[in-house]
Chain A
Amino acid sequence: MSTALEALDLLAPDAIADPYTFLAGTRSRPGLSWSSRHKAWVATRHADVTALLRDPRFTANRVGTYLEKHGDSPEARAAATFYRVAQEWMSLKEGPDHGRLRSLVQAAFSPRVVKNMGGLVVELSDGFVDTFPVGEPFDLLQRFAFPLPATVIAGMLGVPVEDRDQFKEWSQGLSALVFAASDVEGRHESAARATEELSAYVADLIAQREVDPRDDLISHLIEAGSRQDRLTHLEIVAHAILLLFAGHETTTNLICNSVVALLANPAAAEALRSGEADAGRAVEELLRYDSPAKTVIRIALEDVEVAGTQVAEGDRVLLLQSAANRDPAVFADPDVLDLTRANAGAHTAFGSGPHYCLGAPLARLEARLALPILLRRTRGLTLAGDLEWQPNLLTRGLERLEVTITDLKESSDE
């Protein structure tokens, strides 16, 4: 029987501040554990998390399942606009519908296509570093970690980059529901409002591209919608929103979490700065060490036995990537940041199976190029404030990242 984990509260302040210490004892418990706080089973071992991510007897459609049970609740009604859009997202679909939607965009995010964007990522990274003030605190999230991926995804989609700050605000409205910030007051209303404004904004862009198509993802979705793939207008709106949101939110967190990890490990930071550590491998270890993705939710489509535990049809399972990525059964000295770790790539940060992160090649490229640029061009990079982590279940991200630097090098100095 599960006992201690029954009260497991993944939204408790110490779980939000440091999920790794909080979860350290959970992997040794047999089977899955039941959390009465979250009304869900909890999987913490790497083997269980990976197997569940690929298990077709589970669905990612937590929104559909939620609406079936609670569709008439005041919260669900308050956020009806949000749920109407989110229900269309490929990240929540399964089977042929999921495949049809994913096929339309997977080519745009393939490693080969993404590789061609390296020059842009370098140019943007340097440009944002150029704006850093020397000798006074600034928010690295706002000045670097957010605008870099946001500019890249805006360009891919065909969203005017000058509207970047506006869609950051909308993204924040969405994230309380997308990332399950269960304790945030008024989150249903703000998510609905953000969805409404974002939908209107995107519908406007779609109308423009319908008469004047360009070489961007929104035009591509419109074109696909008119062919045999038959995308509805709502599907196009929903996926433009999904890509805009997913295209920057987690990468912003990856960059910030990586900077925090590197500042706490000066030898690793120096190895990455000097080029002694391979940046690609380093990013895999940073993804493992403090992944922006903490938890994935799956729902059982039938009665299933998992790791000796009976899971009933309709039960929710929380797959804790933050526990799996520190599983000593897979990673030796899991709490040590080791940029040369041979099997760091076995992390679960991008998930696994049919929902494996569509944007993984892009996120990897952005982090691999941006982090060394940041380290090479700044001197005396130091934290200048407390770390405040977003209080949600699914993602690990900072509210802001206050830092100072003592000097800034020209990009040509290197």
Chain B
Amino acid sequence: MSDVVRPVVDRDVCVGSANCVRLAPGVFSLVEGQGHADPGGSADGDLMRQAADECPVSAIEW
């Protein structure tokens, strides 16, 4: 059984580089140029960790 992770993009910090969108397009998207995380989150904790790690401005948290 895996826990669902629900990442949040800090819109004040996000620069719209879309690194997270490329990694996990099912969870992250760009809304008006800003990163947005689906409130449903993801069961793939490793992928969410990677998205948070690879954000160039560390705008992804949960």
Interface residues in chain A, defined as those with a beta carbon under 8 Å from any beta carbon in chain B: 51, 54-55, 99, 102-103, 106-107, 109-113, 350, 352-358, 360-361
Contacts and interface: CB of A to CB of B under 8 A. Distances in A.
Contacts of B58: 111
B39 interface: no
A353 B54 contact: no
A350 B15 contact: yes
Contacts of A360: 56-57
B6 to A, nearest CB: 21
A353 B15 contact: yes
B18 interface: yes
Q: At the interface, is chain B mostly helix, strand, loop or mixed?
A: loop
Given A54-B33, A103-B23, A111-B58, A354 B18 contact: yes
Contact of A110 (B16, B22, B33, B56): B56
Q: At the interface, is chain A mostly helix, strand, loop or mixed?
A: helix
A109 B58 CA distance: 12
A51 B55 CA distance: 20
Given A106-B54, A110-B56, A353 B22 contact: no
Nearest to B56: A360
B53 interface: yes
Contacts of B55: 110-111
A54 B15 CA distance: 9
Q: Give the 3 A-B CB pairs with smallest separation, nearest first.
A: A54-B33, A356-B17, A110-B54
Interface residue tally on B, bucketed by range: 10 to 19
Nearest to A103: B22
A355 B54 CA distance: 15
Given A54-B33, A102-B22, A356 B53 contact: no
Given A54-B33, A353-B33, A358 B56 contact: yes
A55 B19 CA distance: 17
B56 A353 contact: no
Contact of A354 (B17, B23, B50): B17
Interface in B1-21: 15-19
13 contacts: A54-B33, A106-B22, A106-B54, A106-B56, A107-B50, A110-B55, A111-B56, A113-B53, A355-B17, A356-B16, A356-B17, A357-B56, A360-B56
Given A102-B22, A103-B23, A54 B53 contact: no
Contact of B22 (A99, A109, A350, A355): A99
Contacts of A99: 18, 22
Nearest to A110: B54
